Amino acid sequence: MKILFLNPPGWQKGSINLGLSYLAAGLIKAGNEVKIFDVNESELAPEVLAERTRAYAPEVIGFSVKTATVKQALLLSAAIKKVYKEALHLAGGPHITLDYENFLKENPEIDFAFLGEADLSLVEFITKLSQKEDFTAVPGLAYRKNGAIFANAVKIVENLDDLPFPNHEVVDTFNPAGFRYPLITSRGCPYNCTYCCVGLVSTKKWRARSVENILSELKSAKERYNTGLFEILDDNFTLKLDRAKELCRRLISEKLNFKWYCHNGIRADKVDFELAKLMKRAGCESVALGIESGTEEVFDSIKKGEKLSDIVKAVKIIKKAGMRTVGYFIIGLPGDTLAGIKKTIAFQRALKLDNYVYGLLTPYPKTEVFDIIKKEGRLLLDIKDTYHFSAEVNAAIEYPYFPAAELREAFYLATYSGLYSFKEKYYKNYRKAPEKILYITFSAETGFLDTVKTVFAGARPDIFTSRYKAELYLKAKQEGSVRNLYIFEGKETGVAKIFSFIKFARLLGKEKYDAVFYNSASKRIFLPAAVFIIRPKALFLEEEKGKYIYGIFSRKVFKYILNRFSGRKILTAVVALVVYPCFRLGAVLLAGLLLLKRSKKLFPVPKEREVGK
């Protein structure tokens, strides 16, 4: 049969939907034809996608559905049915497993749904469908009958080694260049964290692939995609320390030379220094931990089975082994308050993590937290309008002791703590808030401008940006939330562009800004000019991906620039400003001399050497 999978748009960009790639591999092995349209990456309009679907003419269309992508999936389904009614519409994914009954009641346009792991059940369903056999007994299938909704018991994959390796080539947006290969080495979670739905979706039975099977997949990935990067997406990669150590030892002995990451998180009580050292030697660059809260009472109440002392110990171990540390935190757990979040922020700072992410709690159906909130608090939004982690401040819940306004305040304090610290330091130095603010950015919109306007209430900053990004800020200028918009054309190339920037910076220097916010995802070569020519009272560097480093006041600026720009970077700047122009001038002079030498008028060829003489 011809099958199409759709990955609806959501917040998580730049990643493969690994579940769909696994399903595609299993169906192809069974003799079917499969394509995956990743709308999350292509961002095709529903109407355009519908026409592409009609052109492909699948017999079955499957939608991968997370809680945050339910509405987008239904929009795509409706758009397709307007132009192409010949296919069955199926839905699967975490949200379906958690809330299939309500989903099927509310969305009659979806014909069938699949719960839990569908690697085996979907192949069985498609086989029976193609052979026109009864499929109502297929494990994990949810369906309607006589106005009622039924769901068969889920059948998990007991031996993960039996599954074919995921097929990414069938994804329409797949690009192997710089591909960070997604790797699952185990499934299931035996723990009882009150806020988490992993054990409900993939069951509490932990199952692990053999080291041989994992290595075979990685070798295949290197050969097929020419990649040297992978990311482990397990929920419990280090549950069995001996197995994790064996995998690392084999990665080292096999000399596969991968760089890899554990950003889905490992448990703090499931890592020791031996494992951390092996992970580093095997190529691991960065490890994430689910920390959730820095207050003892809240941390203990979420039933992770760890202690905060385990977190402290794990961070030290990972850092000592030479890997980066990332921490994930949740705002809005039952029992937490604004004062509690301030304690969490202090705990997070004390850990000295390399990166951290705060997310507002989303209470997923059937989790313990969902039931607690129904008793102690209330839902403010349909959870399908929320995101697990997002820069958007859309509190879905509140409690009598932690109202929505304080939840939002806590989010800003936690996510932009560096910015608040900057504000406090500025006020301490100058006894007032900064009035004239400039934001320098040559990168894509990050939402930082809105954050500055929130933290510095009533601020109307000036924007200095490139002509490529100007349209992002024109609307803000028209609405009056931006005072002045300066557009750097930057049509020159090389050194000429730098000198053009410096001329522009001299004009901005006359404004005598109180504070300059510099998007450090922009070209660093412009930073010294922004500092020493514009000469603000205070500088704040915005780091990539919405994190912030810290405020730098004028007396610290020079030292910071020297520390930030290593010898190699300084040498690069010197080469760009001095050596390259001299090299180009020499090349022009040499070319001129060669041109003169070839001219017969200036350098006539002697008669005795003329051809034919």
Asked if 290 and 302 count as a contact pair (C-beta separation under 8 A), the reply is no
What tokens does 315 get?
């961070």
Give the DSSP letter of residue 402: B
Asked if 508 and 486 count as a contact pair (C-beta separation under 8 A), the reply is yes
Give the DSSP letter of residue 166: P
Cα 282 to Cα 125: distance, rounded to the nearest angstrom: 41
419-565 and 176-414 share a CATH fold? no
Asked if 292 and 303 count as a contact pair (C-beta separation under 8 A), the reply is no
Cα 145 to Cα 127: distance, rounded to the nearest angstrom: 21
Cα 75 to Cα 50: distance, rounded to the nearest angstrom: 10
Cα 199 to Cα 188: distance, rounded to the nearest angstrom: 6
The domain 2-151 having CATH identifier 3.40.50.280: the answer here is yes
Cα 597 to Cα 94: distance, rounded to the nearest angstrom: 75
Give the DSSP letter of residue 399: B
Q: Are strands 284-292 and 324-331 parallel, antiparallel or unpaired?
A: parallel
Contacts of 600 (CB under 8 A, 6+ apart): none
Q: What is 419-565's CATH number?
A: 3.40.50
Closest CA to 390 of 8, 9, 10: 10
Contacts of 566 (CB under 8 A, 6+ apart): none
Bridge partners of 2?
A: 33
For the chain, report the end-to-end CA distance as a whole number of angstroms: 80
Burial (CB < 10 A; 0-12, 13-18, 19+), residue 232, is buried
List Cβ<8 Å contacts ≥24 apart for 300-306: 301/194, 301/333, 301/334, 301/335, 302/193, 302/194, 302/195, 302/333, 303/191, 303/192, 303/193, 303/194, 303/368, 304/191, 304/193, 304/267, 305/191, 305/192, 305/269, 306/267, 306/268, 306/269
Cα 67 to Cα 14: distance, rounded to the nearest angstrom: 19
Alpha helix (H) ranges present in 390-493? 404-415, 417-430, 448-455, 470-479
H or E element: which one contains 92? strand 88-92
The full length of the chain comes to 613
pTM of the model: 0.80
Q: CA 73, 75, 81: angle at the middle one, nearest 5?
A: 105
Cα 419 to Cα 548: distance, rounded to the nearest angstrom: 7
Contacts of 316 (CB under 8 A, 6+ apart): none
Closest CA to 157 of 302, 328, 25: 25
Residue with tokens 């060829």: 605
Cα 73 to Cα 76: distance, rounded to the nearest angstrom: 5
In order, the DSSP letters of 424-441 are HHHHHHHSS---SEEEEE
The pLDDT value recorded for residue 7 is: 95
For 564-594, give the secondary structure using H, E and C.
HCCHHHHHHHHHHHHHHHHHHHHHHHHHHHH
Q: What are phi and psi of 529, to 5 degrees?
A: -65, -40
The pLDDT value recorded for residue 481 is: 81
Closest CA to 488 of 441, 420, 528, 538: 441
How many C-alpha atoms does 582 have within 13 Å on its Cβ side? 6
- The CA distances from residue 2 to 27, 36, 166, 530, 601, in Å, are 10, 11, 18, 57, 74
Contacts of 197 (CB under 8 A, 6+ apart): 94, 98, 364, 366, 367
- The CA distances from residue 560 to 502, 534, 538, 551, in Å, are 20, 16, 13, 11
Query: How do the domains of the chain map onto residue ranges?
Result: 2-151, 176-414, 419-565, 571-613
Fold of 176-414: TIM Barrel (3.20.20)
CB atoms within 10 A of CB 139: 18
Cα 364 to Cα 93: distance, rounded to the nearest angstrom: 13
Q: CA 85, 88, 89: angle at the middle one, nearest 5?
A: 100
Asked if 91 and 114 count as a contact pair (C-beta separation under 8 A), the reply is yes
| pLDDT under 50: residue ranges of the chain | 544-555, 601-603, 605-613
Cα 166 to Cα 183: distance, rounded to the nearest angstrom: 9
